[in-house]
Amino acid sequence: MRHKVSIIGAGMTGATSAHWLAERELADLVLVDIVEGMPQGKSLDLQEALPVIGKDVSVVGSNDYEATEGSDIIVITAGLPRKPGMSRDDLLAKNAEIVRTAVEETLKHSPEAIYIILTNPLDAMAYLTMKVGDLPRERVIGQAGILDSARMRAFVAMELGVSVENVHCYVLGGHGDSMVPLTRHSNVAGVPLDVILPADRLEAIVERTRKGGGEIVGLLKSGSAFYAPAVAIAQMVEAILKDKNLIVPASVYLQGEYGLKDLFFGVPAQLGRQGLVKVIEYELNESERKALEASAEHVKTNIAKLAL
Ligand SMILES: NC(=O)c1ccc[n+]([C@@H]2O[C@H](COP(=O)([O-])OP(=O)(O)OC[C@H]3O[C@@H](n4cnc5c(N)ncnc54)[C@H](O)[C@@H]3O)[C@@H](O)[C@H]2O)c1
């Protein structure tokens, strides 16, 4: 049976997610956007690319939610991205309206779908999705940790001149400047980062990771990162559709794990066909726990602004 994935928001991250997904031949794809003609044009262009790489999926663009009927997964990327000088939090009010509509409309056509959220501020938008849709926590997952960890992995690999495949990093916490790169749990071919890198270089990498999104926003001048966020979406979709039980850092609803409750927060999450299968809990030391608590306070402030 063919799978179906609908992506709401056919902008930079939405269209690029479709691109990575089509390459993996995982599912038929639908792109929905409010801009007339744009999702249709991008979908047709992508459909026309597939003979070259020999992949058979259908890609449909629409301005109408009916096209999403019967989706296994809904990816929400609709909303405003950051401009230079803006924080992710500055997007909250406007994006909350957009995400609310996207959830309400898609649920009418795909009542069993699993939701993957990208729109910022990420943890608050994932929370909004779960509440507006009255969804079980298994079916709402926010993308942040794969991206933040991939940035850190790229920086470590560049610093040491080793393959990215040897570098494993785990960035937890809220998707913002208070994110928590766990250097003790991150490693290069099994050797912890705090052993393999001098303290000052490691601190520089941690800082660059925290500000990784802003670095790209500053360079692009208009819009924010899209290749890396979109491939992170593709990895999550693949983990779910193939029931891989893949453990990735992702934003999920916590019910006491890590001593935290009633918020979406970046933790190692096992993903399978039901969506979230399990939250993995690390042993944390005092400073790691404090950093996560500070990050959680920040996320809670944003969630409170949603006034749900
Ligand atoms: N979580 C992450 O790691 C991460 C990474 C990158 C971007 N983002 C966020 O993802 C969002 C999208 O970023 P982007 O770069 O793709 O922006 P973009 O501006 O390129 O695309 C957003 C699209 O949403 C569409 N849209 C707006 N209102 C809509 C509505 N009501 N219904 C359907 N579509 C609507 C716009 O027309 C636009 O095409 C932003 O909020 C950005 O901050 C998150």
- Average pLDDT over every residue of 39-48: 98
- Average pLDDT over every residue of 3-28: 98
Query: 25 CA distance to ligand 1 centroid (A)?
Result: 23
Contacts of 10 (CB under 8 A, 6+ apart): 18, 31, 32, 33, 35, 38, 39, 42, 43, 61
pLDDT at 83 over 90: no
Query: 229 CA distance to ligand 1 centroid (A)?
Result: 11
pLDDT at 147: 97
- To the query of whether residue 175 is one of the catalytic residues in this protein, the response is yes
> What pairing do the DSSP bridges indicate for beta strands 28-32 and 140-142?
unpaired
Q: Could you report the per-residue pLDDT of 184-211, keeping only the tens digit for each?
A: 999 999 999 999 999 999 999 999 999 9
The C-alpha angle 288, 290, 295, rounded to 5 degrees, equals: 95
Q: Could you report the per-residue pLDDT of 231-268, keeping only the tens digit for each?
A: 999 999 999 999 999 999 999 999 999 999 999 999 99
Q: Could you report the per-residue pLDDT of 147-174, keeping only the tens digit for each?
A: 999 999 999 999 999 999 999 999 999 9
| Atom number in ligand 1 closest to CA 15 | 16
Whole-angstrom distance, CA of residue 128 vs CA of residue 96: 7
- What does pTM read for this prediction? 0.97
Residue nearest atom 35 in ligand 1 by C-alpha distance: 78
User: Is residue 166 classed exposed, middle or buried when 0-12, 13-18 and 19+ CB atoms within 10 A define those classes?
Assistant: middle
| Atom number in ligand 1 closest to CA 148 | 3
Contacts of 99 (CB under 8 A, 6+ apart): 76, 78, 79, 117, 119, 125, 128, 129, 132
Query: 81 CA distance to ligand 1 centroid (A)?
Result: 6
Whole-angstrom distance, CA of residue 6 vs CA of residue 113: 10
| CA–CA distances in Å: residue 63 to residues 35, 41, 69, 95, 118 | 7, 12, 13, 18, 20
Structure-block tokens of residue 63: 């301005």
pLDDT at 79: 95
Specify which residues 266 forms β-bridges with: 173, 251
Per residue, what are the HEC states of the chain? CCCEEEEECCCHHHHHHHHHHHHHCCCEEEEECCCCCHHHHHHHHHHHHHHHHCCCCCEEEECCHHHHCCCCEEEECCCCCCCCCCCHHHHHHHHHHHHHHHHHHHHHHCCCCEEEECCCCHHHHHHHHHHHHCCCHHHEEECCHHHHHHHHHHHHHHHHCCCHHHEECCEEECCCCCCEECCCCCEECCEEHHHHCCHHHHHHHHHHHHCHHHHHHHHHCCCCCCHHHHHHHHHHHHHHHCCCCEEEEEEEEEECHHHCEEEEEEEEEEEECCEEEEECCCCCCHHHHHHHHHHHHHHHHHHHHCCC
Using pLDDT thresholds of 50, 70 and 90, give the confidence band for residue 105: very high
Q: Could you report the per-residue pLDDT of 259-286, keeping only the tens digit for each?
A: 999 999 999 999 999 999 999 999 999 9
pLDDT at 176: 87
Residue nearest atom 4 in ligand 1 by C-alpha distance: 118
Query: 197 CA distance to ligand 1 centroid (A)?
Result: 36
Whole-angstrom distance, CA of residue 155 vs CA of residue 100: 36
Question: Ligand 1 — pocket residues by CB below 6 A?
Answer: 8-14, 32-35, 77-82, 91, 95, 98, 101-102, 118-120, 122, 143-144, 147, 175, 223-226, 229
| Atom number in ligand 1 closest to CA 32 | 33
Q: Percent of the chain at pLDDT above 70? A: 100
